[in-house]
Copies of this chain bind each other. A is one copy, B any other.
């Protein structure tokens, strides 16, 4: 997981578009999707991706989907094998100034602090209190441990409620709107377009399953059982005779970087034919998908839109350039420019 995406996010965020996001208008984006194969793609394309501008990226997607659904062609892929995996942070929704889940976690740690005087000497906690994000980024592991302690002992239902409550009330510091309003409209269209062409769409994220599952079905049309993510250990027990799952202060699985192909293997059991990411956290998932012997498509979001979102280019971690970019260029993966390829960024926002 990458804690901190940009050193000078405050100054850059100040140039963001100030237009208000209207209520999410997701009609037509979260439909169940037919699983029938070989629909004539040309018939739905013009309507299916209206927020994608004509260009090489849109063309690559349409050509790929047209090929895998064309029965009898060498590029045909059986519907059961049409697995598409999407990173979440920075690929399906924004991730600035910090991963939204981290903002939630920081609130959680702050709330738990009074019960943990021992944290006062913890470097991650000190950085948190001081709002020193670079220092926090260099103590990522310590921070995750604080988070695990902060929510351990809760039942999964209690934890679910804290997440839903936070999502319902928290607002993005700059956009002043709910975080679930900061999903990318072109990706909502792409997800629906893929499902209409027989794909099964999955999220494969470094974020935790609990933080995504309460809203991914409504917003993305992706049900909980198709959300793969990081997780904390939970234990089954009877409490007063009632079956209960309780969170323990231990990280179970980190679904990031080399963990992503492992997560795909464990939860899906087939190699995807389409993968969409945006940073080094997605590099191995993209490599893995691109190593398929049949048709496949690897895509990378390029954050180059300072006016409408953020422009942090290939630097998603402090002082480090994403290698995924080099590999995308070298291997001919499809780079998607937010500035050039997307007509609209957020649902309901102006082009």
Contact = CB atoms under 8 A, between A and B. Distances in A.
A252 B231 CA distance: 14
Nearest to A210: B269
B243 A261 contact: yes
A225 B225 CA distance: 9
Given A245-B261, A245-B262, A288 B236 contact: yes
B262 A224 contact: no
Contact of A291 (B217, B225, B243, B284): B243
Interface string A268-279: 111000000000
Contacts of A266: 209, 231, 234, 252
B224 A268 contact: yes
A174 interface: no
A177 interface: no
B224 A291 contact: no
Nearest to A233: B262
Interface residues of A, number: 38
B236 A258 contact: yes
A273 to B, nearest CB: 14
B284 A262 contact: no
A213 interface: yes
Contacts of A261: 236, 243, 245
A229 to B, nearest CB: 10
A225 B270 contact: yes
Nearest to A237: B258
A85 to B, nearest CB: 11
Given A224-B269, A245-B265, 4 more contacts: A225-B267, A236-B284, A238-B287, A245-B262
Minimum-distance CB pairs A-B, first 9: A224-B269, A236-B258, A243-B291, A225-B268, A243-B288, A236-B261, A213-B269, A243-B287, A245-B265
24 contacts: A80-B217, A80-B223, A209-B269, A213-B269, A224-B268, A224-B270, A225-B267, A225-B268, A225-B269, A227-B269, A234-B262, A234-B266, A235-B262, A236-B259, A236-B284, A237-B258, A243-B261, A243-B287, A243-B288, A243-B291, A245-B261, A245-B265, A252-B266, A267-B267
